[in-house]
């Protein structure tokens, strides 16, 4: 945008300068030629009275030679009977015209010729010829043109400097608007645009700030709604727990554990809603994956599934909340148990890579009934389930700047989850 503004201003300024300087340059050249012709004419007219009245030809010769030597022009006086004083010159057609009583001037090769007829009552007694060379006609023109060119370059430079400052202001305001929109897209709802931007950009900034405020208000209402819903759910859960405690110990322990699991799920939903719009916290992916794999290992043993685990040593931080990463791992492992028959082996690998972490869950089951891309759409399932499990995984990966790929095998299916790195302060 900045370059286009500069090109537009440069083109406009050049057109204006050409329209202004070219006629001015021609005017300067014409004025210089007119000035030289006027000076030559004045000098020739000064000799007219002398030629008309002087009878001493020797004195006239000295005067004409002196005038020719002191001026930048060729001065020649023609008298009757072929007498000529001053600069050597031929009797041109213009001189012959002057002998017939007509004074005139004309452009000739090398300059301009000016002739004056010296009249007496008896007729023309002489002709004064002045020749102005091209060097005199254009004296000072080159210097004036250089000054005009320098003026044009200076005006062009000034216009480009002013245009550059204006373009920088526009570009900076546009970049700031784009940066604020990107921050809002990342969930930084406190980001606001500068409404003092010039012109329509300030209007756009105000509209963007209004949109951000509206989004913040909607999220606040959503959190309040979820909080109210959680309060309504916890009340019957508390009642159910109290009733379960009156049952025999074995049954009471099992029911209370289920109630606590539901209670934790409700708490996670509330916390997730409260985290929405805030900066994502970090979690050690290696620790979370180990814990969830250990949880599912018991069920794997009960269903006679061979489990292969490959998690490197050390911490592996990713920009996700613990509850989100736990839900992601549980969704992947839950799909293995839900959509493959008992005894199907599967593997879990967590790979450290320069751009973050890669979680791979592979099984030797029947695979997907349809194309892999369709299973990643929310609510789409080829096995009769809700179709939300892989959508949870996809959203968790995209929140870190990563992605999810489904790689069909023969047999089996491999789910590759790319998790972005945790930003360092």
Hey, what are 86's tokens? 């001053």
Q: What pLDDT band is residue 383 in, cutting at 50, 70 and 90?
A: very low
User: 3-class DSSP state for residue 358?
Assistant: strand
Q: What is the DSSP string of 87-124?
A: S-----HHHHHHHTT--EEEEETTEEEEEEEEEETTEE
Measured CA to CA, the distance from residue 318 to residue 286 in angstroms comes to: 10
Is pLDDT above 60 for 378?
no
Confidence (pLDDT) at 170:
76
The DSSP code for 304 is T
Average pLDDT for 2-19: 85
Q: What are the residue ranges spanned by the domains of the chain?
A: 2-141, 200-275, 283-419
Confidence (pLDDT) at 346:
93
φ, ψ at 108 (rounded to 5°) = -130, 165
pLDDT tens for residues 265-278? 777 666 666 555 45
CB atoms within 10 A of CB 373: 10
Q: What pLDDT band is residue 360 in, cutting at 50, 70 and 90?
A: very high
Confidence (pLDDT) at 235:
64
| H-run or E-run covering 407 | strand 403-408
Contacts of 185 (CB under 8 A, 6+ apart): none
Measured CA to CA, the distance from residue 344 to residue 364 in angstroms comes to: 6
Average pLDDT for 160-184: 83
Is pLDDT above 50 for 380?
no
The string over 64-103, giving b where at least 16 C-beta atoms fall within 10 Å of a residue's C-beta and e elsewhere, is: beebbeebebbbbbbeeeeebbbbebeeeebbebbbeeeb
Confidence (pLDDT) at 375:
56
Closest C-alpha to 195, from 183, 180, 182 = 180
Q: What pLDDT band is residue 234 in, cutting at 50, 70 and 90?
A: low
Task: Please give the radius of gyration of the chain, using alpha carbons only, rounded to the nearest integer.
Answer: 50
Bigger pLDDT: 197 vs 423? 197
Q: Which of 173-187, 344-358, 381-395 has the highest mean pLDDT?
A: 344-358
Is pLDDT above 60 for 77?
yes
Confidence (pLDDT) at 146:
92
Measured CA to CA, the distance from residue 77 to residue 60 in angstroms comes to: 9
Report the CATH fold assignment for 283-419: Heat Shock Protein 90 (3.30.565)
Contacts of 84 (CB under 8 A, 6+ apart): 76, 77, 78
Confidence (pLDDT) at 361:
93
Same fold, 2-141 and 283-419: no
Is pLDDT above 50 for 39?
yes
Beta strand 307-311 pairing with 346-353: parallel
Bridge partners, residue 112, by sequence: 107, 132
Contacts of 307 (CB under 8 A, 6+ apart): 293, 296, 297, 300, 345, 346, 347, 348
Measured CA to CA, the distance from residue 120 to residue 116 in angstroms comes to: 13
* Spatial contact of 156 and 109, defined as CB atoms under 8 Å apart: no
Measured CA to CA, the distance from residue 418 to residue 319 in angstroms comes to: 12
Measured CA to CA, the distance from residue 150 to residue 163 in angstroms comes to: 20
Average pLDDT for 151-173: 85
The mean of the pLDDT values for the chain is 81
Measured CA to CA, the distance from residue 377 to residue 372 in angstroms comes to: 10
* Spatial contact of 160 and 10, defined as CB atoms under 8 Å apart: yes
Is pLDDT above 70 for 382?
no
Q: Is the peptide bond before 179 cis (omega within 30 degrees of 0)?
A: no
| H-run or E-run covering 76 | strand 74-79
Architecture of domain 2-141: 2-Layer Sandwich (3.30)
Is pLDDT above 80 for 110?
yes
Average pLDDT for 203-224: 84
* Spatial contact of 325 and 288, defined as CB atoms under 8 Å apart: yes
Whether the predicted model's global pTM rises above the 0.85 cut: no
């Amino acid at each position: 945008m900045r370059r286009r503004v500069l090109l537009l201003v440069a083109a406009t300024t050049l057109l204006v300068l050409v329209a202004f300087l070219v006629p001015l340059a021609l005017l300067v050249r014409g004025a210089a030629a007119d000035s030289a012709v006027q000076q030559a004419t004045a000098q020739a007219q000064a000799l007219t009275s002398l030629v008309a009245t002087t009878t001493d030809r020797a004195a006239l010769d000295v005067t004409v030679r002196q005038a020719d030597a002191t001026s930048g022009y060729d001065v020649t006086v023609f008298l009757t009977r072929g007498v000529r004083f001053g600069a050597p010159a031929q009797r041109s057609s213009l001189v012959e015209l002057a002998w017939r009583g007509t004074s005139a001037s004309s452009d000739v090769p090398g300059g301009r010729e000016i002739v004056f007829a010296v009249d007496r009552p008896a007729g023309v007694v002489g002709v004064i010829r002045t020749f102005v060379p091209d060097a005199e006609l254009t004296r000072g023109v080159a210097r004036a043109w250089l000054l005009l060119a320098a003026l044009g370059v200076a005006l062009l430079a000034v216009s480009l400097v002013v245009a550059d400052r204006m373009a920088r202001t526009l570009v900076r305001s546009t970049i700031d608007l784009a940066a604020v929109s990107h921050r809002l897209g990342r969930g930084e709802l406190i980001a606001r645009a500068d409404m003092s931007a010039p012109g329509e950009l300030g209007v756009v900034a105000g509209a963007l700030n209004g949109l951000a405020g509206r989004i913040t208000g909607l999220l606040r209402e959503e959190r309040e709604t979820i909080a109210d819903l959680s309060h309504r759910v916890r009340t019957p859960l508390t009642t159910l727990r109290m009733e379960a405690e009156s049952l025999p110990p074995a049954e009471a322990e099992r029911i209370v554990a289920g109630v606590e699991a539901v209670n934790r799920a409700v708490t996670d939903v509330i916390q997730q809603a409260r985290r929405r719009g805030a900066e994502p916290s970090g979690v050690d992916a290696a620790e979370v994956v180990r814990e969830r794999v250990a949880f599912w290992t018991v069920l794997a043993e009960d269903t006679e599934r061979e489990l292969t685990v490959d998690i490197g040593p050390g911490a592996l931080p990713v920009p996700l909340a613990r509850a989100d990463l736990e839900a992601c791992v549980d969704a992947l492992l839950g799909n293995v148990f839900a959509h493959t028959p008992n005894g199907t082996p599967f593997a879990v690998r967590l790979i450290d890579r320069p751009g973050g972490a890669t979680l791979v869950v592979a099984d030797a089951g029947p695979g997907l009934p349809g194309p892999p891309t369709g299973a990643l759409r929310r609510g789409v399932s080829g096995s009769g389930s809700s179709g939300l499990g892989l959508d949870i995984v996809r959203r968790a990966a995209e929140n870190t700047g990563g992605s999810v790929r489904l790689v069909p095998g023969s047999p089996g299916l491999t789910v590759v989850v790319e998790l972005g790195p945790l930003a360092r302060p």
